[in-house]
Each structure stands twice: as structure tokens, then as C-alpha cells.
Amino acid sequence: MSAERVTINEVGPRDGLQSQPRALDGDRRLAMIEALVAAGLRSIEAGSFVSPKAVPQMAGTGELFARLPQRGEVRYSALVPNVRGYELARAAGVDTLSVVLSATETMNRRNINTGLDETATACAELMARAVADGVDGWAYIAVAYECPFEGPTPPARVERLAERMIEAGARKLIVADTIGAANPAQVRTLTSALVRAFGAERIACHFHDTRGMALANVLAALELGVRDFDSSIGGLGGCPFSPGASGNVATEDVVLMLESMGLHTGVDLDALVAAVDRCAELLDSPLGGHSFRWLRRRAGTARKSDHA
């Protein structure tokens, strides 16, 4: 019997890069994505169609999409903040688009300068438009556990927003612990309610490792049937509009845990080590999750034995 599949959605090229002080040019962004594809990742958030003045790290995303490798084998997604971003993404041939709806008033205003109700309406309209255009629409609910400005987020509010996005046509709902404040008990409470309401197959999770609990939170959601997780190569990332939001859970940590548990991700851990090194080289900055040193030693030992 084959191992159960878990989808890893790699968000390093968008969520990971957007908060970096150094903006990579198109060639370097492409080189990063090529390294991720070579490691076996088949779901990648390649960029966003936002104002280059607001997020200069994402300038030129339309041109990047025209150059992406293995378009027929890899699902590439892009974040769109509004109708203009949606239209630019569609013109670039993007067929999986995501929106971000923060679960608090203040976070929406700090992020995109509109309130919660207005943002929810705009996101719902984009999800409905995606349905009409025959493309996949994904809805992120950010600060689903805690907001850096308003504190803990009421789970009932997240459930209401999730229902609105699903009703509008969202194919997938990604519950985001944007500042890494969640613990496994909170993840179990919120995720179980969402799974009961919409089914585990519609739910994905996005965890940050600010407090060191991201892997434990992945496990909590996994035990409730979730089989779709965001992660970022080397733990790269953080939200530029959210104080205290350090890196995403590292792809290599998530893949190592899942594969060790007998689940199948399709990702080659040794090639993933090479991808971490390549991304660190491109950014001229050290990267690596909790397990990276061990994974690098293991990969080096395997290479030596191959040549023995």
C-alpha cells in the first residue's frame, strides 16, 4: 500500500522574499524556483501582483511567470491584492490565485488600508470572479490566531470569514498563523471546527515559527486530517506589515517530519539541502531550519558513501 500523500506548498519565492531587505532580480528569483523544482516541490507560490512601490521584492512577477519551469507539472500560484492585481495575474497566465483576508480590522488597515468588512467583500468578489473565469481561487485568513495590534482573534470570527470565502467560491482555505502565536491546543480547536464545517480536503495551514511551535502545530492539524501545508525554504520569511512575524516553518523541517512518519511529500531531502544552500547564496544570507545541520551532514555522508 502506498504512503498517504501530503501536499507541501512552498511559499519562499513570495512570502519568504517579500520581507527581505534585498530584492532579488528576475534571474535570481527564477534560479530560486528552479532549485525548488529540482528538489521535487510541485506546488509553489511564485510571487504576487502587488504594487512594486509597496513591495519592491515582487516587481516583475508577470515577466517571471512567463519563464517558470515545468509549467505542466508544477502548480504555480500568485497572490493578488485587488482587481488590478487579479487582471495582471490572469494576463500573465496565472491559473491559481490567492487573496489574503486578515481576521481583524486593524491588520487589514495596516496591510491594505481598508477595513475588515470592505476587505472581506473584495476578497469574496475575487473568489467569485475566479469561479467565473475557471481558475482556482484560494483564500488566506491571516492573523487567524492572534493579531499584533488587537491580540487574540476570536475563533468564531475566523469561522464566519471562512464560511464567507467558501460560499464565494474559494477552492481552498488557508488558515494562517501570521505572527507564529498559535499553540497546538488552539490549532486543534480552530481546525476541528473548520474541518467539521467544510471538510479537511478544503483546509490548509500556514504556520510561522516565531515561538518555536510551528512543527507541533503542523502535527496537530495533521491529526485532524489536514493534508496541505505551506512552508518556506530554510525558514525564510515574515510579513512586512506585521511586527514580530519571523520566518515561516522551514520546508526541510516539515518534509523531514512527514517523511519520517511514513507520509509521502514527493520531496527529495538531499536535493532540498542543495536548494537551501542555493537560496542562501542568492540572498547572501544564512538559511536553514531546526534540522538543517543534521540534514546537511546526512547528505554529505551519503555522497561520500556513493563514491566509496
Question: What pLDDT, in 10s, does the model give residues 95-130?
Answer: 999 999 999 999 999 888 899 999 999 999 999 999
Note the helical H segments in the chain.
Answer: 26-38, 61-65, 83-91, 105-112, 116-133, 155-168, 184-198, 214-222, 251-260, 269-283, 292-306
The topology under which CATH files domain 7-306 is TIM Barrel (3.20.20)
**Residues classed as catalytic:** 239
- Tell me what pLDDT residue 2 has: 63
Pairing of strands 146-147, 136-142: unpaired
- Tell me what pLDDT residue 228 has: 98
Residue type, 266: G
- Tell me what pLDDT residue 19 has: 82
Q: What is the DSSP string of 53-76?
A: TT-GGGTTHHHHHTT-S-TTTSEE
Task: Kindly give the parts of the chain with pLDDT less than 70.
Answer: 1-2, 238-246, 301-308
- Tell me what pLDDT residue 308 has: 42
Q: How many Å apart are CA 235 and CA 11, to the nearest integer?
A: 10
Q: Which of 42, 19, 24 is nearest to 228 (CA)?
A: 42
Residue 292: helix, strand or coil by DSSP? helix
- Tell me what pLDDT residue 302 has: 57
* Residue pLDDT, tens place only, 53-64: 889 999 999 999
